[in-house]
């Protein structure tokens, strides 16, 4: 998505505040991918990143009367996305609730189990470790947290980080070497577990005020998680997926209803015809999408998530017939009048054919020869009515003369 100028953003903001939905959609398309990348860097999981971004835009709608410049808009979105990510991280790392027979007072602080000097030393070492972790390059830091905090196997780490297993191994090796040096020669085998212990004791707490005394480790952990782009409770996010798409069977002369079953995060579904026309699908109460396709041909179905991830499939519609039967050349043959009828779609409904004279009398055919009906008719003008099997109706004047 190309970036918009500040002037264009200001124009879209003004129009969106006035209720212009198209302006809001364009503003969203221009700014949401950037916010998604920021959120994904903090949360790793695409579904959580989408949640954070969606919440940012929901609050934007409530607050945009206070925003009077594109710079303020961007700053607001950046801040909102950041705070939403921190809230999700806190939720993901929240500790289990106490049992009814437990109380906070009954649980000693970890630091109370050691002597004051040991507690101080332990806090200093953890702060130094978290500081060293925060100083690592982002990809090395992410590798350490995925491996030792999330306990992910190398193959899944490679999938999350979008790289090869050998690259993951190389990043881990460099990161552990750097941490070992920063920790004063701590044996390499203990570095990873030390990171896991440090992060396991702490959970990030968002806020804007300075940390209270004794809370520095939690704030250090929050900084590491924020910079590293890793939230606890990781998983590989899903993309939109098309489970199946089915059009209504049988010939019809009205747009064909097509039902689409989807999985994963789907924001919109639409069909594009061969001529480029777009036919949106509407979400139904059962969660599926329904579109009405008006003509035969090939369509491209596109599912799109709120942050632009897509899935596509090809679908063909071949059961639409919107044209009535055609009357061929009327001819006399062996004293009979031959009236041919053709229909290239659903076919002629022969039982529907009616031939009426000028006096209103209905004439019945005396036979059928292939795609034509045979009549014994006097000269004159007649009205022919016929339908095809899709329900299209023909009404035409037929003249019979020797």
Kindly report, residue by residue over 346-395, the tens digit of the pLDDT: 899 999 999 999 999 999 999 998 899 999 999 999 999 999 998 999 99
Kindly report, residue by residue over 137-178, the tens digit of the pLDDT: 877 887 887 787 767 788 877 776 667 888 888 988 888 888
Residue 391: count of CB within 10 angstroms of its CB: 16
Q: Residue 399: which residues within 8 A CB-CB, separation 6 or more?
A: 330, 380, 381, 382
Q: What is the pLDDT of residue 222?
A: 39
Alpha-carbon distance of 258 to 212, in angstroms, equals 59
- String of DSSP letters for 205-223: ---SSPPPTT-HHHHHHHH
Q: What is the pLDDT of residue 387?
A: 94
Q: What is the pLDDT of residue 5?
A: 73
Q: Residue 251: which residues within 8 A CB-CB, separation 6 or more?
A: 319, 320, 321, 345, 346, 388, 389, 390
**Which residues of the chain fall below pLDDT 50?**
1-2, 95-121, 202-237
Tokens of 313: 């499939």
Q: What is the pLDDT of residue 334?
A: 81
Q: Are 251 and 319 within 8 A, CB to CB?
A: yes
Alpha-carbon distance of 389 to 99, in angstroms, equals 70
Q: What is the pTM of this model?
A: 0.41
Q: What is the pLDDT of residue 226?
A: 38
């Amino acid at each position: 998505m190309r970036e918009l100028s500040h002037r264009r953003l200001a124009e879209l903001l003004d129009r969106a505040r006035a209720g212009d939905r198209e302006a809001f959609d364009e503003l969203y398309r221009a700014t949401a991918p950037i916010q998604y990348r920021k959120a994904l860097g903090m949360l790793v999981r695409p579904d959580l990143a989408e949640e954070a971004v969606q919440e940012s835009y929901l609050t934007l709608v409530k607050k945009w009367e206070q925003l009077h410049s594109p710079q303020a808009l961007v700053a607001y979105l950046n801040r909102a996305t950041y705070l939403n990510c921190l809230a999700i991280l806190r939720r993901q790392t929240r500790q289990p609730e106490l049992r009814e027979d437990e109380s906070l007072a009954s649980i000693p602080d970890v630091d109370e189990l050691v002597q004051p000097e040991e507690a101080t030393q332990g806090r200093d070492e953890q702060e130094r470790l978290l500081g060293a972790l925060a100083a690592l390059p982002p990809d090395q830091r992410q590798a350490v947290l995925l491996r030792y905090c999330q306990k992910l196997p190398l193959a899944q780490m490679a999938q999350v980080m979008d790289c090869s297993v050998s690259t993951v191994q190389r990043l881990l090796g460099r990161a552990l070497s750097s941490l070992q040096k920063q920790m004063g020669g701590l044996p390499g085998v203990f570095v990873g577990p030390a990171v896991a212990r440090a992060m396991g004791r702490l959970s990030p707490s968002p806020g804007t005020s300075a940390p209270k005394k004794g809370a520095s480790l939690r704030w250090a952990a929050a900084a590491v998680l924020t910079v590293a782009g890793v939230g606890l409770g990781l998983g590989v996010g899903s993309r939109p997926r098309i489970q199946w798409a089915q059009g209504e069977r049988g010939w019809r002369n009205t747009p064909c209803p097509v039902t689409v079953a989807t999985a994963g995060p789907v924001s919109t579904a639409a069909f594009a015809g061969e001529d480029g026309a777009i036919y949106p699908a509407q979400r139904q109460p059962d969660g599926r999408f329904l579109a009405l396709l008006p003509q035969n041909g090939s369509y491209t179905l596109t599912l799109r998530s709120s942050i632009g991830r897509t899935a596509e499939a090809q679908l063909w519609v071949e059961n639409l017939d919107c044209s009535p039967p055609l009357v061929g050349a009327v001819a006399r043959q062996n004293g009979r009048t031959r009236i041919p009828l053709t229909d290239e779609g659903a076919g002629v409904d022969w039982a529907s054919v009616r031939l009426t004279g000028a006096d209103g009398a209905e004439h019945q055919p005396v036979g059928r020869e292939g795609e034509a009906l045979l009549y014994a008719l006097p000269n004159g003008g007649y009205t022919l009515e016929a339908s095809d099997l899709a329900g299209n109706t023909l009404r035409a004047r037929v003249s019979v003369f020797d």
